[in-house]
Structure 1
Amino acid sequence: MVAPGGGSREEFWQRIVDGRPAIRRISRFDPEPFRSQIAAECDFDPAASGLTPREVRRTDRFVQLALVAADEAVADAELGGVDRDRLGVSLGTAVGSTIRLEDEYVVASDHGRNWVVDHRHALPFLYQSLVPSSGAAELATRFGAHGPAAVVSTGCTSGIDAIGHAYSLVQDDEADVVLAGASDAPISPITVACFDAIRATSPRNAEPTAASRPFDNDRQGFVLGEGAAFLVVEELGHARARGARIYCEVTGYAARANGYHMTGLRPDGFELGEAIADVLHQARLDPSDVGYISAHGSGTRQNDRHETAAYKRALGEAARKVPISSIKSVVGHSLGAIGSIEMAACALVLQRGLIPPTANLHTADPECDLDYTPLVAREAVVQHALSVGSGFGGFQSAMLFGKPAEES
């Protein structure tokens, strides 16, 4: 894990259960020209995190975050004896090498003055930045993974979908073990300008830590973030045979697309509700069996109401009894990475019996009338945790984690 306010899994966990937002004025560039001038930045030093000067020079920040997060996952999983020919990589990202591409365009075009650019002024590694598959290639090379390697880019559901792809690879016996997760580093002028243009991000610049307010009646949009999280996915018997530490079991994954609007959502939450119902069917669970939901909870009025409708549609009366929270209130919205960060949070909830709160939820939107766990963490024995994602383009994904049977 590399996330805002924490350089490791444990630092991340402590921050989300404390409900302490890691949001501040953007420091990577001068944000003064923009409507939204805040973000959840990672305090990340690639050299101090163990990357070599060569790795830093040839890779974008999103790849660097991925390498460091994956290092922690691989070390924790103790993959030393795993057959590398049966080890795969599934990397999710929404915007890839945004920072490197923008920086190099600025140099090559002399700050946009030249329509025809001179490629000789750009770094020699520009192709690696242009092609998102370079992230998966870097991970595969680092860990000697000779099995399937792929990039999943489905916008803000990329993190869930990348783990879902890994789940399918193991089910289909294409790999014994898959390093699965996502990374994004979108905090750059071009990204901030794009979200400014559609007024999707919060302009609450004077009070950054109060800006991300999922399900709150006083919300004004989401807060951009960055980060990476990786999980090691393998067949349960394979993990037990090698004595691996098992956090949870993937018991269901589903994705839908609404074909409705590029950025808009149907207010009835139909497609997201269908994805939730699908994962419950796969896991052979009743709605009442869900013990926690990690919400998409971006903090836009449209998304929060759509999501609330989806829970009611899929879970019925059980939707009013299950605790739900959005950790985007603490770590912001890191686009493609956030799904894997939220799935990692679900794994820790199952293991540690503590539900992180939704920070800044003081006055609930009357249309978001479910138990969104305001302000304070809650102890709970959770057997099954659901996480959902919703992305521009109509992407809707859901994944269910459960405690392995012997640990229930």
Structure 2
Amino acid sequence: MNRRVVVTGLGPVSPNGSDRETFWTSLIHGHSVIKILPQFSSSEEDYRTHLGAEISGFTAEPYITAKEIKRFSRFTQLAIVGARKALADGHLKVEQENQHRVGVILGTGIGGLEVAAQQAIDLKEKGLGKLNPFAANASVPSAAASEISVLMGLKGPNLTVSTGCSSGLNAIGLAYDMIKMNRADVLITGGAETPLTPVIFATFDISRQMSVRNEIGAQASSPFDVNRDGFVLSEGAGIVILEELEHALKRNAFIYAEVIGYGVMADAYKSFGLDPEGKGAAEAIKLALRDAEITPQDVNYICAHASSSREGDLKETNAIKAIFKDYAYKLPVSSIKSVIGMPFGASGGFQLIASVLAIENSIIPPTINLKTKDPLCDLDYVPNTARETNLEYVLMNSFGLGGNNSVLVVKKYS
């Protein structure tokens, strides 16, 4: 059975916009949402970096009740809001007749860890009797997928994927595979992350992976630039609806694009280190292209992982060159993380949303803050200005700490 999988709903909840139009407009106009965050710049802790991209004024109402807001972590709240928005965008109703064929597969690298961290503080300061009784359920990575299924009555597959930064794209890839295998007709998928908490922020600050160019603020995330010095943390939920084609057609759903290929491979290089040659990433690209049954020359655009990491951006460039050969120099590659920062497990969802909107609007979002290209990163990164061009096939890369490499391919629906 040849079951085709299409994208029928988009639910971005991002620092640069919590609706499809605002999110997209910010990307194509290069409006960075990265700024100094007071909770880290004025903290008693001596953080090296003060930068981040947060969702200002976020509230989960009216999507969930005030009682539920108290019970759920911010991570779960973002995911629920994203799922509600994606379902509304896709005009999809879950009813008793179809609830066993609709499920949730989400990605997250961290989950509701901030809830567990607060429990540790409260245990020390207040004692066991004062702990939050909901913390156990709220802190686990599977909390968001579980709560979405309960709130929306989804009795189909319910899974959580955790592979670091690539969690979201792997969740989408798994959802694509499961629909193809007839294990579901519709899956809410993507990723959510809330790493702008003291423990997580400090963990990455001390690891020296984040940009410390506090003085330039919005320009600090600069993928492929010679002066890049690390990623900038952000948060959000990138949620989408994947649906079997015939199911979508029967209900006259709007189809953004078709998912046609997925690949995942490991570097197996060293603990939480990246292979600078990008061999594992290249193999994942090769696998995704094979699954899509297209050639490298068919790809019109790569929505890159590129997080402004010195090692990561070079790894990705080398992987692209390894697969696309001379065509790599003609192939547009850009990074939306130059605008929104690095939202870890939410990245893949945001990339898919950006990619299908790029196909729909025939516009490639730019890589902003690219002033002087790294001589070792010498491809066409669509610097600073969006580019109008017809897009048939788009490939997305998402790479996780520890060497997980995830690649997804989508095409214009026809």
Q: TM-score range by the shorter chain?
A: over 0.9
Q: Give yes or no for contact 2:94–2:152 (8 Å, CA) kept in 1.
A: no
Corresponding residue for residue 93 of structure 2: 80
Alpha-carbon displacement from aligned partner over 1:28-68 (angstroms, at most 9, x marks no partner) = 56446200111011124224453311111111111111111
Is residue 92 of structure 1 aligned with residue 101 of structure 2? no
- Aligned residue for 2:238, secondary structure, equals strand
C-alpha distance in 1 between matches for 2:390 and 2:70: 46
Is residue 231 of structure 1 aligned with residue 240 of structure 2? yes
- Aligned residue for 1:138, secondary structure, equals helix
Is residue 402 of structure 1 aligned with residue 411 of structure 2? yes
Alpha-carbon displacement from aligned partner over 1:258-309 (angstroms, at most 9, x marks no partner) = 2111222122111101111111111121211111111111111111111000
C-alpha distance in 2 between matches for 1:52 and 1:402: 38
Corresponding residue for residue 77 of structure 2: 64
Is residue 4 of structure 1 aligned with residue 19 of structure 2? no
TM-score (norm 1): 0.95
Corresponding residue for residue 248 of structure 1: 257
**Mapping of 1:266-305 within 5 angstroms?**
266-305=275-314
Q: Give yes or no for contact 1:295–1:324 (8 Å, CA) kept in 2.
A: yes
- 1:42 corresponds, among 45, 48, 55, to 55
Instruction: Identify which range, 29-38 or 195-204, moves more after superposition.
Output: 29-38
Alpha-carbon displacement from aligned partner over 1:325-350 (angstroms, at most 9, x marks no partner) = 00101100011111111111111111
Is residue 102 of structure 1 aligned with residue 113 of structure 2? no
Alpha-carbon displacement from aligned partner over 1:61-90 (angstroms, at most 9, x marks no partner) = 111111111111001111126611110100
- Aligned residue for 1:212, secondary structure, equals coil
**Mapping of 1:174-323 within 5 angstroms?**
174-323=183-332
TM-score (norm 2): 0.93
Is residue 393 of structure 1 aligned with residue 402 of structure 2? yes
**Mapping of 1:108-127 within 5 angstroms?**
108-110=123-125, 118-127=127-136
C-alpha distance in 2 between matches for 1:199 and 1:131: 26
Q: Give yes or no for contact 2:274–2:402 (8 Å, CA) kept in 1.
A: no
C-alpha distance in 2 between matches for 1:25 and 1:194: 18
Q: Give yes or no for contact 2:94–2:102 (8 Å, CA) kept in 1.
A: no
Q: Which amino acid aligns with 2:179?
A: V
- Aligned residue for 1:228, secondary structure, equals strand
- Aligned residue for 1:370, secondary structure, equals coil
**Per the alignment, do residues 150 and 81 of structure 1 end up closer, same or farther by CA in structure 2, a change over 3 Å counting?**
closer
Structure 1 residue 401, shift from structure 2 partner: 0.6
C-alpha distance in 2 between matches for 1:313 and 1:305: 12
C-alpha distance in 2 between matches for 1:142 and 1:44: 24
Structure 1 residue 158, shift from structure 2 partner: 0.4
Instruction: Identify which range, 127-136 or 383-392, moves more after superposition.
Output: 127-136
Instruction: Identify which range, 178-187 or 75-84, moves more after superposition.
Output: 75-84
- Aligned residue for 1:293, secondary structure, equals strand
Unaligned runs of 5+ in 2: 1-11
Q: Which amino acid aligns with 1:142?
A: L
Q: Give yes or no for contact 1:42–1:227 (8 Å, CA) kept in 2.
A: yes
Q: Which amino acid aligns with 1:64?
A: Q
C-alpha distance in 2 between matches for 1:389 and 1:92: 12
Structure 1 residue 196, shift from structure 2 partner: 1.6
Is residue 20 of structure 1 aligned with residue 35 of structure 2? no
C-alpha distance in 1 between matches for 2:378 and 2:51: 28
C-alpha distance in 1 between matches for 2:352 and 2:265: 18
- Aligned residue for 2:385, secondary structure, equals coil
Q: Which amino acid aligns with 2:80?
A: L
**Per the alignment, do residues 357 and 104 of structure 1 end up closer, same or farther by CA in structure 2, a change over 3 Å counting?**
same
Unaligned runs of 5+ in 1: 111-116
C-alpha distance in 1 between matches for 2:155 and 2:60: 27
- 2:67 corresponds, among 54, 61, 68, to 54
- Aligned residue for 1:85, secondary structure, equals helix
Q: Give yes or no for contact 2:60–2:78 (8 Å, CA) kept in 1.
A: no
- Aligned residue for 1:365, secondary structure, equals coil
Instruction: Identify which range, 2-11 or 48-57, moves more after superposition.
Output: 48-57
- 2:347 corresponds, among 330, 338, 350, to 338
Corresponding residue for residue 361 of structure 2: 352
| Identity percentage of aligned residues | 40
Q: Give yes or no for contact 1:49–1:68 (8 Å, CA) kept in 2.
A: no
Corresponding residue for residue 165 of structure 1: 174
Let me know the Cα RMSD of the aligned residues: 1.4
Corresponding residue for residue 129 of structure 1: 138
C-alpha distance in 1 between matches for 2:392 and 2:236: 27
Structure 1 residue 382, shift from structure 2 partner: 0.4
Structure 1 residue 13, shift from structure 2 partner: 0.7
Q: Give yes or no for contact 1:7–1:43 (8 Å, CA) kept in 2.
A: no
- Aligned residue for 1:206, secondary structure, equals helix
C-alpha distance in 2 between matches for 1:269 and 1:327: 20
- Aligned residue for 2:239, secondary structure, equals strand
